[in-house]
Structure 1
Amino acid sequence: MIRVGVDVGGTFTDLVLEQVDTGGRRRVFTHKVSSTIGDQSVGVVRGVVELCAIADVQPGQIDALFHGTTVATNIVIERNGAEVGMITTKGFRDILHMGRHKRPHNFSLQFDVPWQSAPLIKRRNRIVVDERILPPDGRIETRLAEDQVEQAAELFAERGLEAVVIGFLFSFLNNDHELRAAEIVRRVMPGAFICASSEVVNTIREYERFSTAAMNAYIGPRTKRYLDNLKARLREAGVNAYVRIMQSNGGVSTIEQASRNPVGLLLSGPAGGVIGGRWTGEACDQRDIITIDIGGTSADISVIRDGALTIKNPRDTEVAHLPVLVPMIDIDAIGAGGGSIAYVDSGGAFRVGPKSAGAEPGPACYGKGGTQPTVTDAQVVLGRLDPEHFLGGGLAIDPALSEQAIRTHLAEPLGMSVKEAALGVLKIINNNMSLAIASNSVARGIDPRNYSLMAFGGAGPLHGVALGQMIAAKNVISPLHPGITAAMGLLVTEPRYEFTQSSLAILQSAGKAELEAVNAVFDRLQAEAAAQLAADGIPPDRQRFERVAECRYVGQGFELRVAVPHGPFTAGSAQEMARRFFAVHRTEYGHAFEDQAVQMVTLRVIGSSSSDTLALPLLEKGGRRNPSEAALYARPTTFDDGETVQTARFDRMKLRAQDVVVGPAVIVQQNSTTIVPPGYAATVIKLGDLVIARVGQEG
């Protein structure tokens, strides 16, 4: 069997291929190519073909391809999605404009309110129709005016709109009107992207539900075109494997499902990195980890507690300040990466990022026309990146161009030396990242002193120890293939789908009728999850189901996710749910009011299946100290204290288990470079991961 993982970043596309022969012998190959921003599928397919050549296999031999993509996220960030129309209940045309009447920053006069200044759907394209569903049972008060729906669709077709969303009040209680309206619009506009809010996210709160459905329609046409292009290009290259797309919740989905509900892909790219980080942590016997994935454009931060991924609570799931009610791994992204541009602003301040040089033109040292100094240029000037080992020698870099860019744009304007300016770039970017890590750990009651910092992505191990020092992490981990960790994470994921339905009940006082209603909802959601898994070709004996409820104190504004006990939902289950809610609330906020009533608001069934996992061979035991067999040469290198010392280079692929590399040292490999400063030592773990700690504290 041959499986391939492909993760597309803003600068590079990372690939990993695992081959398992009939005798069970496994071989793993990695590769990295420049991302093609105009159409990511071009770089993906080129990378797959080149990786097959490296592994000496044919593209047609690939059995499965797993893909993490930033297409959906980029559409939202760049605001270049589809022109969308909306059909909604009469009187509720401006829900998307009003939101919750809450400003993101209450006391800021300058802060932009994005859902008003740049709405996903223009007001002229929001059309109201007569219909009304009433709570609490979803009875029909006013029947749907089908002629008005048809007229609205004809108007949208005349305007040339690419997508239409149907969002009616209380459709989570009864979605008959939404489904009928969607049917009419599909008949009038057969080529358009059509979705009903209840098909995207079937939950309470009309603004959040409408916003999520609007986002789905906004990114839908371009995302579907990308996935269609990917499928076609893979076929042309001879790849006939089944393709799975990484989702924001840490699972994978089919191309068809991802095309219908692309809103689930908004954190597709970073999610693979967190999955890969957890898998690496298991190999290093570390279950409490702070991950930071530093690529060319951004740094993505997440926390793994006791080996478990953190899923965001509904109040926090947003993209570009717009609420998106889909399950997401808790990841915070900031504009900090190897391509982040350093500059002196109009006030004379020294700044780095968030603007990035990206893949084109890239840092100045790439020689592709970039003249602005970047973080990568600073690393080159300080002697931390060697031209002959950058991407294994696959990408030529020119240190003279880095020096020129830093001198012209930073050193001379600020009256400092090139070395001081380069150190300043790293100090600023590291401070930005350490503050972001603190806001995702310390601010949430997590003590980094008890956690390992895992730094990956192409630039991660260059910054890992410095960041570990700044946050006082227990130690720092550099995975075996840092630049490919997100792609490797794709090969340890599983199919994962979440189906939702709002169903309100007070846990401590739920009666027979409420319990029966909850069980009926769970049964229906599990049947939907089973049907989706079966459509993916997963037999019933491999299907797994998990139940989650979003709960709150009665009258509270937002909910917390709570695991539901197995078996039929009984009065005893409800009491246990209340206890679990108090425990989750105490973890999140430091307190719980156990005498207060708890309300269950939204029910979720998560359908998944166990899948083949990536397995790497154990390294031969070495037990050596600064092994000469792995030593390459020594070169002057400047560290964060400003001292320049002659520093040995080591070939990571020649290190063995239990080898120790004592700093100062630079450990090079094809997809990344790991810095071991003076006073630190890197210990090689059984699969080749490095655990870096202060000398005397290693192990």
Structure 2
Amino acid sequence: MSLRIGIDIGGTFTDLVAIAPDGTVRTHKTASTPHDYSQGIATGLAALLTGEAVAEVLHATTVGSNTILEGKGARTALITTAGFRDVLEIRDLRMPRLYDMHWTKPPALVERRLRLEVSEKTRPDGSIAVPLDPASIAACIERIRAEGVQSVAICLLHSYANPAHERAVADALRAALPDVALSVSHEILPEIKEYPRTSTTVVNAYVQPVVRAYLTALSARLRALGITAPLHLMQSNGGLAAAGHAAAFPAHIVESGPAAGVVGAAALAARLQEDRLITFDMGGTTAKAGLVEDGHVLRTEAMEVGAGVMAGARLLVGAGYMLKLPAIDLAEVGAGGGSICRLDAAGAPKVGPHSAGADPGPVCYGRGGTEPTITDCNLVLGYLDPAGLAGGAVKLDREAALHAVTDHIAAPLGLPLEQAAHGMLRLAAATMMRAIRAVSVERGRDVRGFSLLAFGGNGPLFAAGIAAELGIRRVIVPPMPGLFSAFGLLLADTEHHATRSLRMRTADPAALQTALDALLQEGADRLAEDGFPPDRRSATRTARARYVGQSSELSVPLPDGDAPAILAALPEAFAAEHARTYGFRAPPGEPVELMGLSVIARGIPEHPRLPARIPPATATVPPCRRAWFEATGWTDTPVLARAGLATTPRQGPLIVQEYDATCLVPPGASAALDAFGNVRIELQ
């Protein structure tokens, strides 16, 4: 029997899920090891495996994003066209805080003295205006050697139209400095718009040596455990990529961690025939929200990294580092089980974004934490089992949590302990609702027509209360909710995204067909390298378009067929997407401008990856626990394992306690188990 293993690293726990060919599932949680995440993975695998063969290892990691957030990337240089060294400073003039005179933009990832210029210029049509000067390349090489640079980003003007000069610069650097990592813009993002292309290439260069070293260390630990199976990484866009590709193009895996859960939600939504789902993933550090419609995840063409929490007014960007790459559209806020509860200088209660993380963790972990967290508040109110988390592996000290919440929150506010703890949970919920609104209301969707799929170690605790506030009638808690992101890895497909700029105001079927054929061939070649035969490949085609005069584009699915059919269908398809996104469409005849093409090449698995049913977990749980609810006060609340929940709805209050998560069914709600093994909570 050979296993497929999914591994997801969180701020507090590292989750591992293994699935066998017959559909049986095995799980394990272990503490994350931030100093070397591969160590925690090795510890978890040693506990999970009992000598079975491993067919595939799938991994979601936050190494890329953490490298940027912590400012611990490689010493990086940028080579660009003379006169364009300050593109990273000028950015796109977007201000996230319009009236904050004290706001300062984040420092460029490449200091100015290492932004080097070469004499050359390519026109937008690909013709050469200024030939490339070899002497300027030689000067750049000498400066890079003298400064001890580890990684170089190469981004020349209009290289998306003609990459000849970029190739020449890259060839010269490879010959002179073979140990220096290179990131070349036409290989990473061959698209128009100078700042997004430069920023994306620089981010790739900044994290590349760190990610490569991490994957090398992880591969060595896997081999030491006797695991020689292929290693694949989750990309920010929700597809899988081989470890070699991820090491060369780490910009694609910067936001790989949050993507896996949404991919799993899309597969589950298709199985359950749920047309509209909002995903709510609350872990130890952050909470993320995403959208699944008609079995498809909502994607975005760009994202920002290092901008703090990603929520609120989504148009007010500019606080982070631009990555112009396809990604699952997620809103993220700093609210998790480890989020610290405190009073600010004015005495107002605050939750997060700072987190106690895995070390020292919440006060109740007994590892030296002194400030109360969301987990401590949940324990104080009776929602969590004092016997411990993860099947008792993490013991909880309720007395320590009581003292921390009392001393830091309740006493200074002059509130009863229960009201102080509950108020902090309400405050955290309000923060998380911002993320849900950001992917729904701010995208033109009415949340009342959606179901809420809650997972993560803390998502099922908050889901019913948040749904009630938003007017959502149904909450679905999948099997293994605390490990659902790791499980989602096992449901993902191998994907390769290819894009090209193609600015076209007038119909030119020949140019469109040539560009589309090149993208389709690029995707097919990549899938062939991954071992997928022609009968197990598929391709999805989209266009980026806008009304003439607009400064931003929308992605529009393209129908099958040749270029004339696509051009004929594009205006109406774009108008319909514009109406859905912005609430209006231009009058008929308004010209539409094509700005680019994208192709998603997808490898089709040999067998369905989602089991027909996941048996509900059995566990030894206490029959009852006193829990505090705003409507009823302290109440003797039944506690059940998931397997103890029947298909007949049972009225709350109720606690469903599992190895990896706890689900809270408040008074006024009912819960039942469906045929797949999900807990379905219905709200009045």
* Cross-structure match for 1:325: 324
Letter in 1 for 2:141: A
Q: 2:195 aligns with which of 207, 210, 220?
A: 207
TM-score of the pair, normalised by structure 1: 0.93
* Cross-structure match for 2:315: none
Call closer, same or farther: CA 1:669–1:222 in 2, change over 3 Å.
Answer: same
Call closer, same or farther: CA 1:41–1:630 in 2, change over 3 Å.
Answer: closer
Answer whether contact 2:543 2:557 (CA < 8 A) is retained.
Answer: yes
Q: 1:51 aligns with which of 43, 48, 52?
A: 48
Structure 1 CA distance for aligned equivalents of residues 198 and 386 of structure 2? 51
Structure 2 CA distance for aligned equivalents of residues 465 and 325 of structure 1? 35
* Cross-structure match for 1:304: 292
Compute the displacement of 1:681 (Å).
1.1
Q: 2:205 aligns with which of 201, 211, 217?
A: 217
Letter in 2 for 1:19: A
Compute the displacement of 1:632 (Å).
4.0
Q: Tell me the SS of whatever aligns to 2:430.
A: helix
Q: How does 1:630-669 map to 2 (within 5 A)?
A: 632-641=622-631, 643-655=633-645, 658-669=647-658
Answer whether contact 1:298 1:336 (CA < 8 A) is retained.
Answer: yes
Compute the displacement of 1:48 (Å).
1.8
Q: Which moved more, 1:483-492 or 1:411-420?
A: 411-420
Compute the displacement of 1:631 (Å).
7.4
Compute the displacement of 1:325 (Å).
0.8
* Cross-structure match for 2:441: 442
Structure 1 CA distance for aligned equivalents of residues 347 and 148 of structure 2? 48
Q: Tell me the SS of whatever aligns to 2:544.
A: strand
Compute the displacement of 1:683 (Å).
1.2
Answer whether contact 2:329 2:439 (CA < 8 A) is retained.
Answer: no
Answer whether contact 1:90 1:130 (CA < 8 A) is retained.
Answer: yes
Q: 2:224 aligns with which of 220, 223, 236?
A: 236
5+ long unaligned stretches in structure 1: 622-626
Q: Deviations over 1:349-372 (max 9, x none)?
A: 111111000000000010111111
* Cross-structure match for 2:566: 573
Pair 1:544 & 2:538 matched = yes
Compute the displacement of 1:44 (Å).
1.5
Compute the displacement of 1:317 (Å).
5.7
* Cross-structure match for 1:624: none
Answer whether contact 2:236 2:327 (CA < 8 A) is retained.
Answer: yes
Answer whether contact 1:303 1:310 (CA < 8 A) is retained.
Answer: yes
* Cross-structure match for 1:113: 105
Q: How does 1:584-595 map to 2 (within 5 A)?
A: 584-593=577-586, 594-595=588-589
Q: 2:523 aligns with which of 508, 529, 532?
A: 529
Q: Tell me the SS of whatever aligns to 1:62.
A: strand
Letter in 1 for 2:604: S
Structure 2 CA distance for aligned equivalents of residues 135 and 406 of structure 1? 61
Q: Tell me the SS of whatever aligns to 1:26.
A: coil
Letter in 2 for 1:217: A
* Cross-structure match for 1:269: 257
Q: 2:183 aligns with which of 195, 216, 227?
A: 195
Q: Tell me the SS of whatever aligns to 1:148.
A: helix
Q: Tell me the SS of whatever aligns to 2:27.
A: strand
Q: Deviations over 1:95-146 (max 9, x none)?
A: 11112234333333122222xxx1011110011111111122x012222122
Pair 1:13 & 2:19 matched = no
Q: 2:30 aligns with which of 18, 25, 33?
A: 33
Letter in 2 for 1:98: I
* Cross-structure match for 1:2: 3
Q: Tell me the SS of whatever aligns to 2:389.
A: helix
Q: How does 1:245-284 map to 2 (within 5 A)?
A: 245-284=233-272
Compute the displacement of 1:559 (Å).
0.9
Compute the displacement of 1:660 (Å).
3.1
Answer whether contact 2:288 2:435 (CA < 8 A) is retained.
Answer: no
Q: Deviations over 1:617-639 (max 9, x none)?
A: 54789xxxxx9x99741121112
Answer whether contact 1:339 1:357 (CA < 8 A) is retained.
Answer: yes
Letter in 1 for 2:415: M
Compute the displacement of 1:527 (Å).
1.7
Structure 2 CA distance for aligned equivalents of residues 5 and 77 of structure 1? 25
Answer whether contact 1:84 1:163 (CA < 8 A) is retained.
Answer: yes
Answer whether contact 2:388 2:396 (CA < 8 A) is retained.
Answer: no
Compute the displacement of 1:319 (Å).
5.3
Call closer, same or farther: CA 1:620–1:186 in 2, change over 3 Å.
Answer: closer
Letter in 2 for 1:533: L
Letter in 1 for 2:149: L
Call closer, same or farther: CA 1:152–1:295 in 2, change over 3 Å.
Answer: same
Structure 2 CA distance for aligned equivalents of residues 110 and 515 of structure 1? 51
TM-score of the pair, normalised by structure 2: 0.95
Answer whether contact 1:5 1:67 (CA < 8 A) is retained.
Answer: yes
Structure 1 CA distance for aligned equivalents of residues 638 and 609 of structure 2? 32
Structure 1 CA distance for aligned equivalents of residues 536 and 43 of structure 2? 34
Structure 2 CA distance for aligned equivalents of residues 191 and 370 of structure 1? 43
Letter in 2 for 1:46: T
| Runs of 4+ residues over 6 Å off in structure 1 | none
Call closer, same or farther: CA 1:218–1:272 in 2, change over 3 Å.
Answer: same
Q: How does 1:360-439 map to 2 (within 5 A)?
A: 360-439=359-438
* Cross-structure match for 1:452: 451
Q: Tell me the SS of whatever aligns to 2:102.
A: coil
Q: CA RMSD in A?
A: 1.9
Pair 1:124 & 2:121 matched = no
* Cross-structure match for 1:517: 511
Call closer, same or farther: CA 1:636–1:457 in 2, change over 3 Å.
Answer: same
* Cross-structure match for 1:295: 283
Letter in 2 for 1:633: P
Structure 1 CA distance for aligned equivalents of residues 614 and 161 of structure 2? 57
Answer whether contact 2:388 2:395 (CA < 8 A) is retained.
Answer: no
Q: Deviations over 1:203-230 (max 9, x none)?
A: 0011110011011111111111111111
Q: Which moved more, 1:248-257 or 1:436-445?
A: 436-445
Answer whether contact 1:497 1:608 (CA < 8 A) is retained.
Answer: yes
Q: Tell me the SS of whatever aligns to 1:278.
A: helix
* Cross-structure match for 1:614: 609
Letter in 1 for 2:629: F
Call closer, same or farther: CA 1:283–1:603 in 2, change over 3 Å.
Answer: closer
Q: Tell me the SS of whatever aligns to 1:104.
A: coil
Compute the displacement of 1:387 (Å).
2.2
Compute the displacement of 1:665 (Å).
1.1
Answer whether contact 1:317 1:326 (CA < 8 A) is retained.
Answer: no
Q: Deviations over 1:213-248 (max 9, x none)?
A: 011111111111111111111111111111110001
Call closer, same or farther: CA 1:420–1:106 in 2, change over 3 Å.
Answer: closer
Call closer, same or farther: CA 1:217–1:255 in 2, change over 3 Å.
Answer: same
Q: Which moved more, 1:138-147 or 1:234-243?
A: 138-147
Q: 2:96 aligns with which of 99, 104, 108?
A: 104
Q: Tell me the SS of whatever aligns to 1:85.
A: strand
Letter in 2 for 1:476: V
Structure 2 CA distance for aligned equivalents of residues 690 and 283 of structure 1? 15
Letter in 2 for 1:584: E
* Cross-structure match for 1:671: 660
Structure 2 CA distance for aligned equivalents of residues 562 and 87 of structure 1? 34
Call closer, same or farther: CA 1:271–1:401 in 2, change over 3 Å.
Answer: same
Structure 2 CA distance for aligned equivalents of residues 269 and 102 of structure 1? 27
Letter in 2 for 1:693: E
Letter in 2 for 1:637: A
Call closer, same or farther: CA 1:438–1:620 in 2, change over 3 Å.
Answer: closer
Answer whether contact 2:235 2:256 (CA < 8 A) is retained.
Answer: yes
Answer whether contact 1:85 1:156 (CA < 8 A) is retained.
Answer: yes
5+ long unaligned stretches in structure 2: 308-319
Call closer, same or farther: CA 1:102–1:299 in 2, change over 3 Å.
Answer: closer
Q: How does 1:44-193 map to 2 (within 5 A)?
A: 44-53=41-50, 57-58=51-52, 61-114=53-106, 118-136=107-125, 138-193=126-181
Compute the displacement of 1:524 (Å).
1.5
Call closer, same or farther: CA 1:653–1:394 in 2, change over 3 Å.
Answer: farther
